[in-house]
A and B are shown apart, each in its own frame.
Chain A
Amino acid sequence: QSVLTQPPSASGTPGQRVTISCSGSGSNIGGYTVHWYQQFPGTAPKLLIYTDDHRPSGVPDRFSGSKSGTSASLAISGLQSEDEAYYYCSAWDGGLRGVVFGGGTKLTVL
């Protein structure tokens, strides 16, 4: 059971807006910044969003992050077929003194 809770799956049609939630607690999301990673099967994860809502260079602005209290969200607008992947949230946990990941969300583009 992951410390951060994500829905196991999400889906949408091309052009649609999809959001993926990430729920934690005061010792992780509530006290530290949240990061999001995108992973295609058989490949290394890629940083998608850092420090709650910042996009690394090269990440399309269709991807956005937000945080409120002990929850965070990843939003993907203008959904494209190439967005079909696994998405993971993560944060430092001050109580556990370690990094915690969500269980991952498999995004399907219908």
Chain B
Amino acid sequence: EEQLLESGGGLVQPGGSLRLSCAASGFTSNNYAMNWVRQAPGKGLEWVSSMSGTDGSTYYADSVKGRFTMSRDSSKNTIYLVMNSLRVDDTAVYSCAKSFGLGVSSSMDLWGQGTLVSVSS
């Protein structure tokens, strides 16, 4: 069974850093585009970052560009999101999602349950 399990969330002060992990099982994440999507409390879905399955290119929302970095460890079948210079408005549940295909424009057909990131002093 294909699954995604996120970890690494928690409470952090403004300006702090966190590294989120997304462990994939039941499939090889290298063979698909992978994504991070967040949802602030009571708000809608907001795309954060994507990594292409073809060449590993990464794409970021303007709101996180320069502060967040997405990467993957093929040996661990895990993707990461390193978040620096965190702001209060980064508070959200962060979910990773597998794309249907290699391309970043593909639909997201498998989602994890998410990990909560709270940024507060």
Contacts and interface: CB of A to CB of B under 8 A. Distances in A.
Contact of B44 (A51, A97, A101): A101
Nearest to A43: B113
Given A32-B105, A33-B105, A35-B107, A44 B46 contact: no
B35 interface: yes
A44 B114 contact: yes
Chain B interface SS verdict (over half): strand
Contact of B60 (A50, A88, A98, A103): A98
Interface in A44-89: 44-47, 50-51, 56, 86, 88
B49 to A, nearest CB: 8
A97 B59 contact: yes
Interface residues of A, number: 28
Interface in A87-110: 88, 90-92, 96-104
Contacts, number: 65
A45 B45 contact: yes
B104 interface: yes
A99 B62 CA distance: 11
B45 A37 contact: yes
Nearest to A86: B44
Size bin of chain B's contact surface: 20 to 34
Contacts of B61: 98
B113 A44 contact: yes
Interface string B78-111: 0000000000000000010100100011111101
A54 to B, nearest CB: 9
16 contacts: A37-B108, A45-B37, A47-B107, A47-B109, A50-B100, A50-B106, A50-B109, A86-B44, A90-B45, A92-B104, A92-B105, A96-B62, A99-B37, A99-B47, A101-B44, A101-B47
Interface of B: 35, 37, 44-47, 50, 59-62, 95, 97, 100, 104-109, 111-114
